[in-house]
Amino acid sequence: MNINESELLSHGDIEAKRIALELMKVAIKSSDPYIAVKRALRISDNKLVIMNKEFSIKGDIYVLAFGKAACSMAKAVEEVLGDRIKEGIAVTKYGYGTPLKRIKVIEAGHPIPDENSLKGARLGLELAKKVKENDILLVLISGGGSALFTLPENGISLEDKIRTNELLLKSGAKIYEINIVRKHISKVKGGKLARIVKGTIISLILSDVVGDPLEAIASGPTVKDPTTFKDAYRVLKLYGVWEKLPESVKKHIELGLRGEREETLKEDLPNVYNFIIGSNAIACEAAKKKAEELGYDAYILTTTLEGEAREVALALGSIIEEIYKYERPFKKPCILIAGGETTVTIEGEAGLGGPNQEFALSITRKIRGLRGIAVLAMDTDGTDGPTNAAGGLVDSHTLELLEKEGIDIEEYLRKHNSYEALKKAKALLITGPTRTNVNSIIISVIT
């Protein structure tokens, strides 16, 4: 990571912000996909050992990785398995690729898929079809896999898939709801990848979905799916997306509702094994442990935080204010940690930002003047929304600083232009690619 630390610590509640950054670094390190794979995977005699479960190696081993952490995970696998790897493919985001020895790397579009996303999925499908009954396919899954490993159903173009995704992202639908639709217009998601593999599938999964439901992470290519075409239709209607959909997508879902399109996988397959090796809960626990080492009482409020970013921020801000003024429910100094995935509902034109930046800007309204308080909100992959910022790091001075600059915070929030406001306050958190992705993390320091 290449953090803009000097800018962030040049003003305001410097000590509180320094602590928040220190805890953030520990949380990110705990979710390092390379370390997570090394922790979970080893070779013993002629057996593959995954989190103490043994798999006999009788044939070839193939590797298929997709997601923002694909290359870090694949590198660890190469170091463990070496020339035991027959062939492999890793599909990751532009700028996230690293050279690998035995595994081919393809960089593709995220959050909007592109032609390389199609290429990666096609090659991945071809690789999966090579796996014979005695072989093992090691699948490495991380956040971003839905966009990076994209292969629409017949009759649906990439452009129509992109349009559908854009409509859902702007609708305010939760990520698991978006994934319900993605699975039902994809050839590889919702367990469809697993269906075509004859050998043993072992998936190592870095979770980027609240609560770690396997079927939702990267839209569950190797697990059974409890959702149906009816659920996909319900989501599209609920968020006002159905009427705006491309005709090809509408037609496919209508055919699915009539039972004329194949459903996602509905049963557990005996040759498929899935292991979660990294998650938001692990990251939050690591931050809590570090805070306690620094001498603070620390509390994990939740690892399943959801809701509209600006409103959730006001709720957390109210808890911080209560602690600061009345020392309840916790005494100060203390540190509050939360993880999850907030959303931003966009109607009409919008400025630049992301859920964590909007959260950070919104919470300044509650912590204004409460000296010694800092709140860090970030997406652990280092990219919050379509920006180069991971999120924001604000304190009790931020709102006053913005007002002096003539910034109407309510107007910036209304226009979802949090990036520009935080930039003026020198409160944007820039980390660069972290090469991991386990949802968002929020660290509140009350000194």
pLDDT in tens, 5-15: 999 999 999 99
pLDDT the model gives residue 114: 92
Reduced DSSP (H G I as helix, E B as strand, rest coil) percent helix, strand, coil of the chain, to 5: 40, 20, 35
pLDDT at 87: 97
Instruction: Check residue 302 and report its DSSP letter.
Output: E
Q: How far apart (Å, rounded) are the C-alpha atoms in residues 320 and 330?
A: 9
Look at residue 436 in the predicted model and tell me its pLDDT.
83
CATH 3.40.50.10180 in the chain is located at 33-151+186-228+263-278
Q: What is the pTM of this model?
A: 0.80
Residue bearing tokens 């990520």: 175
pLDDT value of residue 211: 85
Which pLDDT score, from 0 to 100, does residue 70 have?
94
For residue 415, the SS3 value is: coil
The DSSP secondary-structure symbol of 439 reads -
CATH for 33-151+186-228+263-278 (3.40.50.10180, 3.20.20.140, 3.40.50.10300, 3.40.605.10) = 3.40.50.10180
Q: How far apart are CA 261 and CA 291, in angstroms?
A: 52
Q: Within a 13 Å sphere around the CA of 57, how many CA atoms are in the beta-carbon half?
A: 17
The pLDDT value recorded for residue 1 is 84
The answer to whether the peptide bond before residue 333 is cis (omega within 30 degrees of 0) is yes
pLDDT attached to residue 209: 82
**Ranges of CATH 3.40.1480.10 domains, the chain:** 5-30+280-446
Distance CA 278, CA 182 (A): 23
Give the CATH superfamily of 5-30+280-446: MOFRL domain (3.40.1480.10)
User: Taking the chain, what is the end-to-end CA distance rounded to the nearest angstrom?
Assistant: 26
Residues of the chain with pLDDT under 50: none
